[in-house]
């Protein structure tokens, strides 16, 4: 049995990728493996985007997100450095290609994919994401679709703890799941929480800036002093203080925009005034999404509710 299990990653990699897979495995993982807490590891993705949680133990292996299709060999290699057991489950936190891209290959080898209802529904057509002004991705293959979906949430009882998965308020998208490993005391918040850039509000997929404020409040309310938090994007494991920093940013953005709106400025005038110039060095250094992408969304939401 042990031999069979330990064969899984090597055999699967060889089966899928032949000698190229072997070369990749020999060259080492492209993911940075970080022990988080309890049963949970973090696979920090190259560039800090599309970070994965790996929960492992005697009952099985559960992943949160699986990055891009082409990252599967490196993903399998990284998981094999944590456990010799095969992957049983993947939870997709939301629809974006850097979080669902591994589904197709993993499902073909018996991994069960789960996600919120809206993630599966959005897989029925081509995908559009907000970066670089709104770029398209091909419709994912049918085999990539979650085979189990939920409307509010679902709970795993695995490896001596509950894994609570539940729908966040509309924030990054309208199908964002939070995952809480209760005994390990680890949260994976998907892309509702990113520590290296301004929050992305995906209006193509039901995202909301004001919803993100609500979602961060919910997440912070769940966290204790020892809780460790995996950001969807960002480097390293974060915590409650890291979430409070992001919440402060959200509050600051809302307050600044509201002040300028109350002064009667148009969106063009607000953008010309560069109201986030002091925040941009910390949060606005990712070219595909910066303040000029985010501020119009905040403007629209704040003026819509007046
Ligand atoms: Zn995303």
Dump pLDDT digits (tens) for 3-16.
333 334 433 433 33
CA of 172 to the centre of ligand 1 (A): 7
Q: What is the pLDDT of residue 79?
A: 97
Rounded distance from Cα 205 to ligand 1 centre (Å): 10
* Residue 1 CA to ligand 1 centre (angstroms): 38
Residue 74 Cα to ligand 1 midpoint, Å, equals 20
Locate tokens 């109350």: which residue?
262
Å from CA of 36 to ligand 1 middle: 22
Q: Is residue 15 part of a domain?
A: yes
Segment 201-255, tens digit of pLDDT: 999 999 999 999 999 999 999 999 999 999 999 999 999 999 999 999 999 999 9
- Whole-prediction pTM: 0.89
Range of the domain at 83: 2-252
63 inside domain: yes
Domain count, the chain: 1
User: Does some domain include residue 230?
Assistant: yes
What count of Cα atoms within 13 Å lies in the side-chain half-sphere of residue 148? 13
Distances (CA, A) of 110 to 27, 214, 304: 26, 36, 46
**What is the CATH classification number for the domain harbouring 80?**
3.60.15.10
**Of 129, 99, 127, the residue nearest 114 (C-alpha):** 99
pLDDT of residue 9: 40
- Give distance in angstroms: CA of 56 to centre of ligand 1: 24
193 in a structural domain: yes
- CA–centroid distance, residue 159 to ligand 1 (Å): 28
CA pair distance 100, 192, nearest whole angstrom: 16
Distances (CA, A) of 23 to 14, 17, 20, 79: 10, 9, 5, 17
What residues in the chain have per-residue pLDDT under 50?
1-28
Tokens read off for 118: 């809206």
């Amino acid at each position: 049995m042990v031999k069979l299990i330990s064969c899984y990653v090597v055999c699967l990699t060889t089966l899928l990728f032949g000698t190229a897979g072997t070369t990749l495995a020999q060259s080492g993982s492209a993911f940075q493996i970080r022990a988080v807490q309890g049963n949970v590891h973090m696979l920090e993705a190259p560039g800090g985007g599309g970070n994965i949680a790996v929960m492992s133990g005697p009952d099985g292996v559960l992943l949160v997100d699986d990055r891009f299709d082409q990252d599967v060999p490196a993903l399998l290699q990284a998981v094999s450095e944590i456990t010799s057991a095969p992957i049983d489950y993947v939870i997709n936190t939301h629809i974006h290609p850097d979080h669902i891209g591994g589904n197709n290959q993993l499902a073909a080898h018996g991994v069960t994919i789960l996600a919120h209802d809206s993630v599966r529904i959005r897989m029925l057509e081509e995908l559009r994401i907000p970066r670089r002004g709104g770029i398209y991705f091909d419709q994912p293959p049918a085999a990539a679709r979650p085979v189990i979906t939920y409307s509010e949430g679902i709970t795993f009882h695995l490896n001596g703890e509950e894994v609570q998965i539940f729908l966040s308020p509309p924030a990054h998208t309208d199908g964002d799941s939070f995952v809480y490993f209760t005994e390990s005391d680890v949260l994976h918040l998907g892309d509702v929480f990113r520590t290296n850039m301004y929050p992305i509000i995906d209006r193509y997929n039901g995202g909301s800036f004001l919803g993100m404020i609500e979602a961060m409040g919910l997440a912070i309310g769940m966290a204790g002093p020892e809780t460790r938090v995996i950001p969807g994007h960002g480097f390293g494991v974060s915590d409650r203080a890291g979430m409070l920093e992001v919440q402060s940013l959200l509050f600051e953005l809302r307050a600044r925009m509201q002040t300028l709106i109350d002064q009667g400025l148009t969106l063009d005038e607000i953008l010309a005034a560069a109201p986030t110039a002091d925040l941009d060095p910390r949060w606005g250094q990712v070219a595909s999404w910066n303040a000029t992408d985010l501020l119009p969304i905040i403007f629209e939401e704040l003026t819509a509710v007046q």
